[in-house]
Structure 1
Amino acid sequence: MIDIDAVKRLNVQDGDLLVVPEDSDSHDMELLINALYVLMPSRKVIIIRGPVQQLDVGDMNKLGWYRA
């Protein structure tokens, strides 16, 4: 269920990364992406469960991620 008091206006741009709380339900995430598609069908966004942290290239390599 969405906490209406926690709703904030989003100014979603093409290519944005949206981070939702890590306890978010998969179904609610699907509802969010569907609502965004209705409002902005040509924009592409990525929705992930948080938390997110920025890693440097060395840390990403240690995790098996390599920059192309």
Structure 2
Amino acid sequence: MIDFDAVQRLNVQDGDLLVVPEDSDQHDIELLCDALYVQMPARKVIIIRGPVQQLDVADMNKLGWFRA
């Protein structure tokens, strides 16, 4: 189960990045995606499991992310 108290932002807006705890279950993350879609189908968000700060620039570039 996702510990929703540990989610960094719950007032989700289009374009938000949601960081869920590292030990979050994949099925629960999919349920969160489904719930967000039901609430606002056109909204686009990125959900990441675990601490974002562990990714360095090279790793982010490999994933298609670039610093602005």
TM-score using structure 2 length: 0.70
From 51, 57, 60, the equivalent of 1:60 is: 57
Q: Greater RCO between the two (CA within 8 Å, min separation 6)?
A: 1
Unpaired runs of at least 5, structure 1: none
* Count of aligned positions: 63
Unpaired runs of at least 5, structure 2: none
Q: Could you report, residue by residue, the CA deviation over 1:27-53 in whole angstroms, capped at 9, with x for unpaired residues?
A: 000000000000011100011101111
SS of residue in 2 equivalent to 1:65 = helix
RMSD: 3.2
CA distance, structure 1, for counterparts of residue 2 and residue 22 of structure 2: 14
Between the two proteins, what is the percent identity of the paired residues? 71
